[in-house]
Amino acid sequence: MSRIRDKFLALERAGEQAFIAYIMAGDPDPSFTPVIARAIARHADIIELGIPFSDPVADGKTIEAASERALRAGMRPQNIFDIIVAIRTEMDVPIPIVVMSYYNTILQFGIERFIKKLAEVGGDGIIVPDLPVEEADELVRSAKESEIDTIFLVAPTTPEDRIAKICASSSGFVYLVSLLGVTGARGRISDSARTLIKDVDVVEKKQGISIPTAVGFGISKPEHVHEMVASGVNGVIVGSAIVELIAEHKDEPKEMISALEEFCRSLKEATRGSSSRKDAAAALPKRQ
């Protein structure tokens, strides 16, 4: 049974959409990441943990800087497992944890070994932004064997036939990239985000596929969250705005935690009161 699937079902019953919070593991220090995660989990529905990488091609300046800080602080890929254990050890509620990693990191560790270890420590899903779904058979197979959800990305330029393949290959949810380019907070949401939400919905219905969608890239304030929820998406992913708060207060841990809790509370509040795409959450496929 998937914790991510269960979370989307529970939120649907409550008339809410998912707030997925991204943080860079190891920023500002590996030992403090579990503290940050536990604070965010008071309001977030799912936590996404990024593994720092020296050449993060999908990320903008904010996430890239966080990756550099984490690497300077001694964060290494294998530390992600200890961090998840630390989060799980003191977490009252078993919040789903998704890991975002570039493919080279997983390859160096070994695909099957990485996935098995992720499952062993209590991880729930994996996002690999630079791995095309057409080349992901080994990852998907290993993930299914270990009951880890594989979350693939759909961009505004993705053609219909490829959207169908991505939705069919994904489990947990499908990550909708709201705009072309890299991650980063924006002042307004691109019109392409609303178009993409509709396009994916059309493809899912045409193909008989039911899987939740979550939109990310550029979502940075409660108004953005509310706007996306009203457009029919099942969840929103906020990363750069959270990482910016961490950077702003990196030398003030108490102030950081307070600011993060308040910001995440406001983002979660914006997901409440809308029950769009009920069929998608209600019809989530059971694991085979």
| Phi/psi-derived region of residue 172, left when phi > 0, alpha when psi is between -120 and 50, beta in every other case | left
Find the angle CA(71)-CA(72)-CA(74) to the nearest 5 degrees.
Answer: 65
Write down how long the chain is.
288
268 close to 7: Cβ distance less than 8 angstroms = no
Choosing from 59, 204, 227, 244, the catalytic residue is 59
- Cα 84 from Cα 34, distance rounded (Å): 8
Q: What is the DSSP letter of 179?
A: S
Half-sphere exposure of 131 (CA within 13 A, CB side): 24
Quote the tokens at residue 11: 């939120």
| Phi/psi-derived region of residue 15, left when phi > 0, alpha when psi is between -120 and 50, beta in every other case | left
Question: Catalytic site residue 59?
Answer: yes
Which residue do the tokens 């998912």 mark?
A: 18
Choosing from 48, 149, 201, 227, the catalytic residue is 48
Put the strands of the sheet holding 149-151 in their side by side order.
Answer: 149-151, 125-127, 97-100, 46-50, 18-24, 235-238, 213-216, 174-177, 153-154
Q: Which residues are catalytic?
A: 48, 59
